[in-house]
C-alpha cells in the first residue's frame, strides 16, 4: 500500500511476534481484559427519541368525544397517525443501523486484537509516546504507595496525639488530688499538653501533604490516563480499519470490490484522523502533567520535610512558621473536628 494512504507521522507499524507485547501480561488474562475493553462501549441508542404518534406521545390519533353527534362520526385526518408510524419506523431503522455499525466495529477490533496477540498482525507503535505512558503508570503506582503510607502515618500519629491528650488530662487531675506529687504531675501534664499542641500542628501539615498528593494521583493523573485509554482504543480501531483496507487492496479490482474499497478508504481516514487527534491530546496532557507534578511535589516535599524536622527537633516556632509559609490554617479550639482530619 502506498505511503500516501497510510502515512504515520511519528509512528510505525511493527509485526507482533510471540516474543512481543503479549509477554507483559499472562496471555489469557491480558486478552480477556482487552476484549472487555473493546466490548465495553456499546451502541448509543439514546441519540434519537420518539416525538409523537407512539407510546407516550401526544393524543393526535385519539378521537375526541365532542366529535360524536347523533349517528355520525367525524373522523380526524389520518395523516398524523400515519406520520407517527413513519417516525417510529424511521427511528427503529436508525437504531438498527447504530447497532449494526457497532457490531461491525467490535468485530473488526476484536479480530485485530486477536491477530496482534497471536502474532499474525501488526500494530502501530509510537515508541516515544508509549514509553511516556508506561512511565506515567509506573509513577502513579509509586505515588499511590506514598499516599497510602502518608495516610497510615497520619492515622498513627493522630492516635498518638489523642493518647497524649488523655495522658495530660490524667496528670493534671492527679496533680490536683495528690499534694505530695503536685509539682511532678503538674509539669508532666504541661509537657503532654505541649506535645499534643505541636502534634496537632504537625498533623495539619501532613494532612495538607496527603490531600495534595491525593489530588495529583486520583484526579490529575487519572484524568490523563482516561485520555490514554481513549487513545489506545482509537489506535486499535485505526489498525483494524488499516488492516481491512490493506486486505481489500490486495484483492481483485472488479466493480463490487472498488465500491467496497472506496468505503474502506473513507472509514480508514476517519479512524486515522481520530487516532492522530487523540495521540496529540495525550502528548499535550503528558507534557502539562509532568510540569504540574514537578511544581506540586517541589512544594509538598519541602513542606513535609520542614514540618517533620521542626517537630522532632522540638522547634515549635519553626513548626508554626512552616504552616504560615504554606498558608495552612488550623481550626480554632472548639470546632467540630480538627482541621487536620482528611475529608474522606
- pLDDT-above-90 percentage for the chain: 46
Phi, psi of 73 (to 5 degrees): -115, 125
Phi, psi of 120 (to 5 degrees): -105, 5
What local confidence, expressed as pLDDT, does residue 344 receive?
32
Beta bridge partners of 72: 69
Element (H, E) at 213: helix 182-215
What local confidence, expressed as pLDDT, does residue 201 receive?
93
115 exposed, middle or buried (CB, 10 Å; 0-12, 13-18, 19+)?
middle
Count the alpha carbons within 13 Å of 17 in the hemisphere toward its beta carbon. Answer: 2
Read off the C-alpha cell for 235: 489506535
Query: pLDDT by residue (tens digit) across 46-102?
Result: 443 333 333 333 333 333 434 434 444 444 455 555 566 776 666 666 665 566 566
What's the CA gap between 158 and 163, in Å, rounded?
9
Cβ contacts of 154 within 8 Å, gap of 6 or more: 203, 206, 207, 210, 340, 342
Q: Check: pTM over 0.85? Answer yes or no.
A: no
Residues of the chain with pLDDT under 50: 1-10, 15-27, 44-76, 333-344
Amino acid at each position: 500500500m502506498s505511503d500516501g494512504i497510510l502515512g504515520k507521522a511519528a509512528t510505525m507499524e511493527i509485526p507482533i511476534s510471540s516474543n512481543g507485547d503479549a509477554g507483559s501480561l499472562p496471555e489469557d488474562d491480558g486478552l480477556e481484559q482487552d476484549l472487555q475493553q473493546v466490548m465495553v462501549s456499546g451502541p448509543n441508542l439514546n441519540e434519537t427519541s420518539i416525538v409523537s404518534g407512539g407510546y407516550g406521545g401526544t393524543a393526535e390519533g385519539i378521537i375526541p368525544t365532542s366529535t360524536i353527534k347523533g349517528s355520525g362520526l367525524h373522523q380526524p385526518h389520518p395523516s398524523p397517525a400515519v406520520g407517527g408510524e413513519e417516525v417510529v419506523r424511521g427511528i427503529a431503522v436508525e437504531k438498527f443501523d447504530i447497532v449494526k455499525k457497532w457490531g461491525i466495529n467490535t468485530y473488526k477490533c476484536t479480530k485485530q486484537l486477536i491477530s496482534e496477540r497471536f502474532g499474525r498482525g501488526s500494530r502501530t507503535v509510537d515508541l516515544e509516546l508509549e514509553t511516556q505512558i508506561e512511565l506515567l503508570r509506573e509513577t502513579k503506582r509509586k505515588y499511590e504507595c506514598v499516599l497510602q503510607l502518608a495516610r497510615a502515618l497520619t492515622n498513627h500519629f493522630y492516635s498518638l496525639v489523642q493518647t497524649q491528650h488523655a495522658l495530660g488530662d490524667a496528670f493534671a487531675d492527679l496533680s490536683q488530688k495528690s499534694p505530695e506529687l503536685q509539682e511532678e504531675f503538674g509539669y508532666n501534664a504541661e509537657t503532654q499538653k505541649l506535645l499534643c499542641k505541636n502534634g496537632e500542628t504537625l498533623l495539619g501539615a501532613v494532612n495538607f501533604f496527603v490531600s495534595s498528593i491525593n489530588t495529583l494521583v486520583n484526579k490529575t493523573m487519572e484524568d490523563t490516563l482516561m485520555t490514554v485509554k481513549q487513545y489506545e482504543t482509537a489506535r486499535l480501531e485505526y489498525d483494524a480499519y488499516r488492516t481491512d483496507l490493506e486486505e481489500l487492496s490486495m484483492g481483485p479490482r472488479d466493480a463490487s470490490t472498488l465500491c467496497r474499497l472506496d468505503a474502506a478508504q473513507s472509514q480508514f481516514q476517519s479512524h486515522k484522523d481520530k487516532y492522530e487527534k487523540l495521540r496529540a491530546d495525550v502528548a499535550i496532557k503528558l507534557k502539562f502533567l509532568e510540569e504540574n507534578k514537578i511544581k506540586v511535589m517541589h512544594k509538598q516535599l519541602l513542606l513535609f520535610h520542614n514540618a517533620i524536622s521542626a517537630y522532632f527537633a522540638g522547634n515549635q516556632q519553626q513548626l508554626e512558621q512552616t504552616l504560615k509559609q504554606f498558608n495552612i490554617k488550623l481550626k480554632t479550639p472548639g470546632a467540630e473536628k480538627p482541621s487536620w482530619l482528611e475529608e474522606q
